Structure 1
Amino acid sequence: MECLIRIAMNSDAAAISQIIIGTLRESNAQDYSAEIINQVELSFSPQAILSLMTQRQVFVALLEHRIVATASLDHDVVRSVFVDPAYQGKGIGRQLMKSIQSSAIAEGRNLLRVPSSITAEGFYASLGFIKIRNAFHESERTIIMSKTLDV
């Protein structure tokens, strides 16, 4: 499923927030408690998204002018990769990651890291990311993964 990938604009913040929170509640809820999901949601309000957009390169994926996914690049760290559950498994996340990797290579990076959720570990592994270690933020477990880029 081909989609348009572009850099996010401030006017996208509410839609990005909705995608992230909806995905957390539907997809990530299978691997994390409601308490952890509620805590993580606080970091993705529209106002928080606007703040993140000043610190990172935030990308969005659009289908028929509607945002269906987002991902961001913070130096050499991939962050906040979320695909609307209705569109998961259709290659949109892969297209976003291709844009992220191209941007990282253009910035002269030769390695990408990602703090993966339990839910997304298989996705990143399928893209060539290798598990480095587990990380815990209170009771929230993430998997630190990395990938060497073909420069």
Structure 2
Amino acid sequence: MIELKPGAVPDIPLLWSLRTRAVRQLCASHYSPEQIDIWSESPPPESYLRLLASGCALVAEQEGERLGYGILDRQSGEVIALFVEPAEAGKGIGKRLMQGLDGIAAQEGFTRLYLYASLNAADFYRAMGFVAMREEAYLHPSAITLRSLYMERVLPMNSLH
């Protein structure tokens, strides 16, 4: 059974390693090898310290193994990250993480979430109810530009308190 646990600052290296595997394996179908190399070699952004310290991250685990993680910025309602171990993609882990992020968003009083989706993840987010508002050139912290979709979603009424 998949459990969602709060992410913590000491988890950053392991989460970032998971993210790097996901970028290398799952994003390669939509981005150039040069983009993938630069993207995957970038260090964790400084914002991860703040976000994980403030309880914005959820880690999906099964039998002690980390299968994915998601981060919601409690101040803005932006889904900052949602990554799943490549070998576990398509098994409902991302959906479970999104449901957990919905719960955090509801606690904060958000009625809408937004994110910048990599092109390979757009169909997943559409299945989660996100709507693409526009295509954008996302300036990644590593200084590369990645084509992405700015997407929004109204939270399900049953997640609001």
TM-score (norm 1): 0.89
How far is the alpha carbon of 1:73 from its aligned partner?
Answer: 0.3
What residue is the counterpart of 2:147 in the other structure? 141
Alignment partners' CA distance in 1, 2:14 and 2:98 = 19
How far is the alpha carbon of 1:11 from its aligned partner?
Answer: 2.5
Which amino acid is the alignment partner of residue 125 of structure 1?
Answer: R
Within-5 A mapping of 1:9-48 = 9-43=8-42, 45=43, 48=44
Within-5 A mapping of 1:2-151 = 2-43=1-42, 45=43, 48=44, 51-55=47-51, 57-74=56-73, 75-136=76-137, 137=139, 139-149=145-155, 150=157, 151=160
Determine helix, strand or coil for the equivalent of 2:80: strand
Which amino acid is the alignment partner of residue 86 of structure 2?
Answer: P
Structure 2: runs of 5 or more not aligned: none
**Is contact 2:4–2:97 with CA below 8 Å preserved after alignment?**
yes
**Number of corresponding residues:** 147
Once superposed, which parts of structure 1, at least 4 consecutive aligned residues long, lie more than 6 Å away? none
Alignment partners' CA distance in 1, 2:72 and 2:127 = 19
How far is the alpha carbon of 1:50 from its aligned partner?
Answer: 6.8
Alignment partners' CA distance in 2, 1:50 and 1:62 = 24
Alignment partners' CA distance in 2, 1:92 and 1:51 = 24
Determine helix, strand or coil for the equivalent of 2:28: helix
**Is contact 1:13–1:50 with CA below 8 Å preserved after alignment?**
no
Determine helix, strand or coil for the equivalent of 2:31: coil
How far is the alpha carbon of 1:40 from its aligned partner?
Answer: 2.1
Structure 1: runs of 5 or more not aligned: none
